[in-house]
A and B are shown apart, each in its own frame.
Chain A
Amino acid sequence: MTLHIDSVSKRFGQYQALDSVSLDIPKGELVALLGPSGSGKTTLLRIIAGLETPDQGRVLFDGEDATDVAPRYRQIGFVFQHYALFPHLSVFENVAFGLRVMARETRPSEEQVRQRVSEILKLVRLTNLGERFPAQLSGGQRQRVALARALVIRPRVLLLDEPFGALDVTVRTELRRWLRELQQELGLTTIFVTHDQEEASAICDRIAILNEGKLLQTGSPVDLFTAPATSFVAGFLGSANILARDSLGAGAPAGLAGAKLAFRPADGKLSPSAAAPAPGGHLRLSGTVQHREFLGSIVRYAIARPGGEVQIDAPFKAGEAFIAPGTEVAVDIPHDALISLNS
């Protein structure tokens, strides 16, 4: 199903939790909603699910206005940030819940329920745990029960609110890969909330970046990484050095129109400041090494300069000497590694 979110706004008291957010999601696409804590990610999901009413704007499913449809009729699979499993029901009954509460005319028979739940449990690889209770499961297993429970109603849209937030890194990586395969297999239109940019980039078709209730930019992970529109996006997806254009004087390349320029720490090359002038097609910054961190495959230098500090990641080669703090250095950045930002 296609999902249209049409300039949705929501206030809580004085706080503008969502500010005219619009987002279109074609059928079968997985969109990662990425943003810092408090940016309104959960609020947006809750509005789509009907658990919260927007002050303004509309939510459309397949082009049909669903803003006033009660949540129980929306047929949306919602996986909550903290699972929200039913503790007094077994795994099997948790998953069966959505079938057991259906209207009498459409409710499947006991046998159909068994069959359907077993299918779903197999899909989420929990076949043997049907008799257990949520308290007897690991975090990853609970997460999959929550997912199975949402899938059993054949949702038109799947909403996942930081599904892996509470899990450790290995389980996370495994589950997110599995989730992506499952989502593609079922062709489910899905929104996946996270504040982990790596997780977002790894599995989604598109990323939507939310900050302070505003949708800043949407695009494929590669697009957002290579062409962020604002300094917030540039800094949120990977790290970035932001330069005010004014601080560069005549050195700024003429082709880039934005008020600010950004570059990735790995794109700057360090050399002793006294060395030859900047090679052609490069922007040169000069400064003093402030600080050095050895991070394994790279060495991260913080360089103090008049227009603010920049970070440079230099590849580490065994046997090579570090540059000592206090050393005057030049940073050369190729023009094509510079990103022009609007703000």
Chain B
Amino acid sequence: MATKRVGDQKLVRRLLIGAVAIIAIFLIAAPLLAILSYAFAGGAGRYFESLLTEDTLHAVKLSVITALIAVPINTLFGIAAAWAIAKFDFPGRRFLTAIIELPYSISPIVAGVAYLFVFGAQGLFGPWLQANDIKIMFALPGIVLASLFVTAPFVARELIPLLEAQGREREEAGISLGASGFQTFWRISLPGMRWALLYGIILCNARVFGEFGAVSIVSGNVRGETNTLPLHVELLYQDHNSVGAFAAASVLMLIAVFTLIAKFLLERRGVRRHAEGT
């Protein structure tokens, strides 16, 4: 009789798969369906009506603006950081990597509070900012800063292992063929990381839209002014406006579904397997 590998028994396999499927349905699929069913509880008319209220539209707009600022900045930051870490040798490389990944391990609320301490009225730069009439807390800059902090690692994290695996030879080949540094980056490095970069950008974008904790501290939750979409959902919910809350939530859900599909397509291209390294 052939030796059995761990987990080969049919019963174990079925139990495991079944358990995971049930948990996934209860924890993930059911809530998603609930969002839709509540959102459309009063019919499509009510749905669009509450989606198109001024405050909800403003929240969507604020979230979009935040993403339009934060995602490009963190993309550039991610490329630069990954490039430095993967392609150069310098003391403190590992330390820098750890710093970049810090937001992963810190609760976003803590990040929000930290910003409050730095830029808030009672904070480190508070008096100076006030004296110069610069508004960071409870305004767009604060929201963008908090989003930047939380999503800082997303792009870099995708790129570092890829760039490390690729090494420096391709760039060196480009340079010795007469290309300038910029040409080498644009024609060789960037295409070499395009899928991993896109993957990182998509995750980063999804997180910017979804971020609640850090933003809720620094935004001040002013309805129609500093409420991003997730904050607005919570506000509507507390107002017992469940159709409104779930309609707004359905926008976030739509972004999540797009992200999921994009992730799936990119993973099929082998982004995570570093196929670009060949």
From B176, B178, B180, B191, contact of A88 by CB (8 A): B191
Assembly CA distance A109 to B191 (angstroms)? 24
* A75 touching B178, Cβ below 8 Å: yes
* A84 touching B192, Cβ below 8 Å: no
* A72 touching B191, Cβ below 8 Å: no
Assembly CA distance A72 to B175 (angstroms)? 5
* B179 touching A72, Cβ below 8 Å: yes
Which residues from A are CB-within-8-Å of B178? 72-73, 75, 98, 101-102, 153
Among B160-204, those with CB < 8 Å from A are: 169-170, 172-180, 183, 187-188, 191-192, 194
Answer whether A84 and B177 are a contact pair too, CB < 8 Å, given A101-B187, A135-B278. Answer: no
Which residues from A are CB-within-8-Å of B55? none
Which residue of chain B has the shortest Cβ distance to A70 in the bound complex? B175
Which residue of chain A has the shortest Cβ distance to B190 in the bound complex? A88
Tell me if A140 is interfacial: C-beta within 8 Å of chain B: no
Assembly CA distance A101 to B184 (angstroms)? 9
Name the residue in B176, B194, B278 with the highest tally of chain A Cβ atoms < 10 Å from its Cβ: B176
Determine how close the nearest CB of chain A comes to the CB of B216; give it in whole angstroms: 42
Assembly CA distance A98 to B188 (angstroms)? 12
Determine how close the nearest CB of chain B comes to the CB of A159; give it in whole angstroms: 9
Which residues from B are CB-within-8-Å of A50? 176
Interface size class of A (residues with CB under 8 A): 20 to 34
* A80 touching B276, Cβ below 8 Å: no
From B172, B177, B192, contact of A98 by CB (8 A): B177
Tell me if A71 is interfacial: C-beta within 8 Å of chain B: yes
Which residues from A are CB-within-8-Å of B194? 88
Among A63-120, those with CB < 8 Å from B are: 71-78, 80, 82, 84-89, 97-98, 100-102
Which residues from B are CB-within-8-Å of A89? 191
Assembly CA distance A97 to B179 (angstroms)? 9
* A78 touching B176, Cβ below 8 Å: yes
Answer whether A86 and B176 are a contact pair too, CB < 8 Å, given A80-B169, A101-B183. Answer: no
Which residue of chain A has the shortest Cβ distance to B179 in the bound complex? A101
Which residues from A are CB-within-8-Å of B179? 72, 97, 101
* A88 touching B175, Cβ below 8 Å: no
From B170, B180, B183, B187, contact of A84 by CB (8 A): B170
Assembly CA distance A55 to B129 (angstroms)? 51
Tell me if A51 is interfacial: C-beta within 8 Å of chain B: yes
Determine how close the nearest CB of chain A comes to the CB of B200; give it in whole angstroms: 18
* B278 touching A71, Cβ below 8 Å: no
Which residues from A are CB-within-8-Å of B170? 84-86
* B187 touching A80, Cβ below 8 Å: no
Which residues from B are CB-within-8-Å of A134? 278
Assembly CA distance A100 to B186 (angstroms)? 13
Which residue of chain B has the shortest Cβ distance to A75 in the bound complex? B178
Assembly CA distance A102 to B169 (angstroms)? 20
Determine how close the nearest CB of chain B comes to the CB of A174; give it in whole angstroms: 25
Name the residue in A71, A72, A73, A82 with the highest tally of chain B Cβ atoms < 10 Å from its Cβ: A72
Which residues from A are CB-within-8-Å of B276? 87-88
Determine how close the nearest CB of chain B comes to the CB of A48; give it in whole angstroms: 10
Which residues from B are CB-within-8-Å of A78? 172-173, 176
* A101 touching B180, Cβ below 8 Å: yes
Which residues from A are CB-within-8-Å of B172? 51, 71, 78, 80, 84
Assembly CA distance A78 to B173 (angstroms)? 7
Which residue of chain B has the shortest Cβ distance to A74 in the bound complex? B176
Name the residue in A73, A89, A98 with the highest tally of chain B Cβ atoms < 10 Å from its Cβ: A98
Name the residue in B169, B172, B177, B194 with the highest tally of chain A Cβ atoms < 10 Å from its Cβ: B177
Contact sample, A vs B, 23 pairs, CB 8 Å cutoff: A49-B176, A50-B176, A51-B175, A71-B175, A72-B177, A72-B178, A72-B180, A76-B176, A80-B169, A84-B170, A86-B173, A86-B191, A86-B192, A88-B191, A88-B276, A97-B174, A100-B187, A101-B174, A101-B177, A101-B180, A102-B178, A135-B278, A153-B177
Apart from A71-B175, A72-B176, A101-B178, what are 12 other A-B pairs with CB-CB below 8 Å? A49-B176, A73-B178, A76-B176, A78-B176, A86-B188, A87-B192, A88-B194, A89-B191, A97-B174, A97-B179, A101-B180, A101-B183
